[in-house]
Amino acid sequence: MTDTLFYQVAVQSPLRRLFDYLPAEDASSVLAAGVRVTVPFGKREVTGIVVSNTASSDYPIGKLKPITAVLDKSPLLPPVLFDVLLWAARYYQHPLGDVLATALPTLLRKGGDLPQQSLWRLSTHGKGLPDDALRRAPSQQALLQLLQQHESLSREALTGAGVSTATIRSLKNKELIENFTRTISDQAFNPNGATDILAETPLTLSPDQQAALEQVEFHAYNSYLIDGETGSGKTEVYLQAIATVLRDSKQALVLIPEINLSPQTLARFQARFNCPIALIHSGLSERQRLEAWWAAASGSAGIIIGTRSAAFVPMKSPGIIIVDEEHDSSFKQQEGFRYSARDVAVMRANRESIPLLLGSATPSLESLYNCQQERYRHLSIKGRHGGAVQAAWQLVDIRHSQLNTGFSHTVIEGISTQLAEGNQVLVFLNRRGFAPTLMCHDCGWVANCRHCDAHLTVHTNRPGLHCHHCESRQPLPSTCPECSSQQLNYLGQGTERSEATLQALFPETNVHRVDRDSTGSKHAMEELLEQINKNEPCILVGTQMLAKGHHFPGVTLVVVLDADTSLFSTDFRALEKMGQLITQVAGRAGRGAKPGVVMIQSHHCEHPVFELLSRHSYAKFAQHLLAERQFSAMPPFTNAALIRAEFHQGGQALGLLQRARDFLESQMPSSPALRYLGPFPAAMEKRSGRYRYQLTLIGAERRDLQPLLSRLCHWLEQEKSARKVRWSIDVDPQDTI
């Protein structure tokens, strides 16, 4: 048995290991990494991916089974991407089979074929016919000639050439033509720069835009942070960088946050370029997803625009990666394979030796820190285009003031003035529903979720009590379940209540609510945007969905109803997120010709962050936060990982984490360079009926954490008590640590 070959195959399973198989019985050549295979796995047959081959296996050869079938002639995942996926599995401590699956559309994951195309061609019999054999049936003769000239044609092409279904059927019945399928063409979108890639003349860049673009080196890896407020012209820089890449017959990958791609942005890409654009997002059907994926992988799409998981889409000839709104937390997957698409993009651009552009009006502290460390180049674009001027900020002190369901007198006046002048107003409140709490006035009873440590939110649009943490729902009680009193009070306000209040205050004005409940369908959002773009006076009231990417040229006043919640949050990123959100919302004001006003209601107007933000300086604000993070040795100055555990009974989850900490200390004792915090209860201890705990690792050096976490994973996989408890590892967590 000297030259037996073993394949190590990744299979989707919770185990962090590969499985060994013998070559398929009829194997003729050695399989490359990245090829899909069907293998027996337990009692099932599953699709796996070949990772490597070896000359020896740790398992007795008699116990190993052969690969059942080989599904691909060549790997679906190109070698560089494959390496990035291997890296991601190690870095995020996630099972490789699952990580590789992220790079494949579901249909391929399940063993399906690449998208097929149905074509017509002459049969052997048909090929043997003389040219004019069918001259008495002119339409059949025309089809025959068409297929003599073209090797094969799709049904659409035939219809386009005026061939009818009846004609096709006649020739098929005479067995002169036949139907066959093959993989959809993998023609590159622009072979050797043949077509003119620009469909319109690009704008003349401002000096800052020009300087930023000139900094970008196109044939090497570098990360660039393009920092410029909303409307400063970042997208225009992306478009011109993409043009350079396309002319070189290379592809551009643009990652955008999870919230729907604004139709305006897509329209801008389409208007600018003469090349196919593939869109990859969660709204696609499995078939559409496969087709978009293949357009990227085969090289037929020049531009690929996608959300988080598109960071792993294969490209035939990658030329640039752009991450727009790089600070957005939706780039981080919060469950299962907990990766950051932004950080994966950095690694991928590095391995592909191509540039990475990160753009934001409110860069993340991580990226600003990376600029300080000279890992990224910082490119600033100042000012705004189209003459729009900076919004004026007004802090509205609401201590001691009478509020009308959350609205101060000053704000109501402000709204009224703007509406009278024919302008639009945007009211921002990051809380869905009508009221966050239902309380009995007579006995103090509060409606709580049975499954979570949380109050239930009162909703009036789909009436009921909803838990925003476990999605459970119950009818709205008419009397108190404790004391039968009818005095049930709604405490606090959500978007539905603000909508009602505003509608009562301004009965003549259209009030539109924008949140997850009102814009469930993509269609609803588009319709709303159309309404708003008519530029008639109206009020928009909504959650952070309003802050993302949309242009509202008619809005001249932005109101932030409740800025205080994040000042006292346990989440160490809460202030950063609040500053980003307020700056982004403020950036929606006065984008048209009219200047904007931003009003922020707070009980803590003297808080330094408001001072910094209101002087229009997100940069100063970010510096302030960075100094705080450095002082407290928190990320990005250190590296964090979170071990979470949850179970129906609290004791078991907590016990597991205590043992995990003992194990970690036995491997590497805690020191100033490596701190262990916890285990502690999570910010919301009970959620969806499970008790949740967490153990945090904070290390000065990233390279210390990774091997330690690998050993911990190994330990957890062996540990008996870990089998029942649900545990996970989150590297570079977004939430509370």
Single out the residue of 295, 452, 547, 654 in contact with Zn ion (rule: CB under 5 A): 452
Query: Is residue 470 a contact residue for Zn ion (CB under 5 A)?
Result: yes
- Residue 126 makes contact with ligand ADP by CB under 6 A: no
Nearer to Zn ion, 451 or 551 (CB): 451
Work out how close the CB of 589 gets to ligand ADP at its nearest, in angstroms, rounded to a whole number: 13
- 233 sits near ligand ADP (criterion: CB under 6 A): yes
For residues 366 to 395, the per-residue mask of contacts with ligand ADP, x marking binding by CB under 6 A and - elsewhere, is -------------------xx---------
Instruction: Assess 614 for contact with ligand ADP (CB under 6 A).
Output: no
Of 230 and 556, the one with the shorter C-beta distance to ligand ADP is: 230
Q: Which is nearer to Zn ion, 271 or 483 (CB)?
A: 483
| DSSP 8-state symbol, 122 | E
Among 5, 69, 194, 203, the residue binding ligand ADP under the rule CB under 6 A is 203
Contact set for Zn ion, span 430-449 (CB under 5 A):
440, 442-443, 445, 449
Contact (CB, 8 A) for 568 and 606: no
Given 8, 223, 232, 652, the residue binding ligand ADP (CB under 6 A): 232
Q: Is residue 476 at the binding interface for Zn ion, with CB under 5 A as the rule? A: no
Cis upstream peptide for 679 (omega within 30°): yes
In this complex, which beta carbon is closest to ligand ADP, that of residue 385 or of residue 469? 385
On the 0-12 / 13-18 / 19+ scale of CB atoms within 10 A, 373 is exposed
Q: What is the DSSP string of 205-255?
A: PPHHHHHHHHH--TTS-EEEEEEE-TTSSHHHHHHHHHHHHHHTT-EEEEE
Closest by alpha carbon to 572, among 633, 492, 649, 513?
Answer: 633
Both tokens assigned to 439:
């309380």
The β-bridge partners of 425 are: 539, 557
204 counts as binding ligand ADP under rule CB under 6 A: yes
CB of 82 to ligand ADP, least distance (A): 33
How many helices (DSSP H) and strands (DSSP E) are in the chain? 21, 30
Partner in contact with 333, chosen from ligand ADP, Zn ion, none, beta carbon below 5 to 8 Å by kind: none
Shortest Å, Cβ 274 to ligand ADP: 19
Helix, strand, coil fractions of the chain, as percent rounded to 5:
35, 25, 40
Task: Output the DSSP codes for 316-340.
Answer: SSEEEEEEETTT-GGGB--SSS--B
Of 21-40, which residues contact ligand ADP (CB under 6 A)? none
Residue 324: beta bridge partners?
Answer: 359
User: Which of the stretches 228-236, 247-255, 596-604, 642-650 binds ligand ADP when contact is defined by CB under 6 A?
Assistant: 228-236
The interface partner of residue 228, options being Zn ion, ligand ADP, none and the CB cut-off 5 to 8 Å by kind, is ligand ADP
292 token code pair: 């978009």
CB of 467 to Zn ion, least distance (A): 3
Bridge-partner residues for 427, per DSSP? 541, 559
Number of residues lying near Zn ion (CB under 5 A):
14
Query: For 632-737, where are the alpha helices, taking DSSP H only?
Result: 650-667, 702-718
Assess 266 for contact with ligand ADP (CB under 6 A).
Answer: no
Q: Quick one: which segment of 466-474, 494-502, 654-662, 669-677 binds Zn ion (CB under 5 A)?
A: 466-474
Instruction: Dig out the tokens for 383 from the structure.
Output: 């000012």
Contact status: 211 vs ligand ADP (CB under 6 A): no
Instruction: Please pick, from the candidates 209, 333, 544, 639, the single residue that binds ligand ADP as defined by CB under 6 A.
Output: 209
Task: With beta carbons less than 8 A apart as the criterion, state whether 181 and 119 touch.
Answer: yes
Quick check: 620 and 612 in contact, CB under 8 A? yes
Closer residue to Zn ion, CB minimum distance, 447 or 511: 447
Burial 195-227 (b: 16+ CB within 10 A, else e): eebbeeeeeebbebbeebbeebeeeebbbbbbb
- According to DSSP, the β-strands at 277-280 and 303-306 are parallel
CB of 480 to Zn ion, least distance (A): 3
Interface with Zn ion, residue 486, by CB under 5 A = no
Residues that bind ligand ADP (CB under 6 A): 203-206, 209, 228, 230-236, 385-386
> Which spans of this chain sit near Zn ion (rule: CB under 5 A)?
440, 442-443, 445, 449, 451-452, 467, 469-470, 480, 482-483, 485
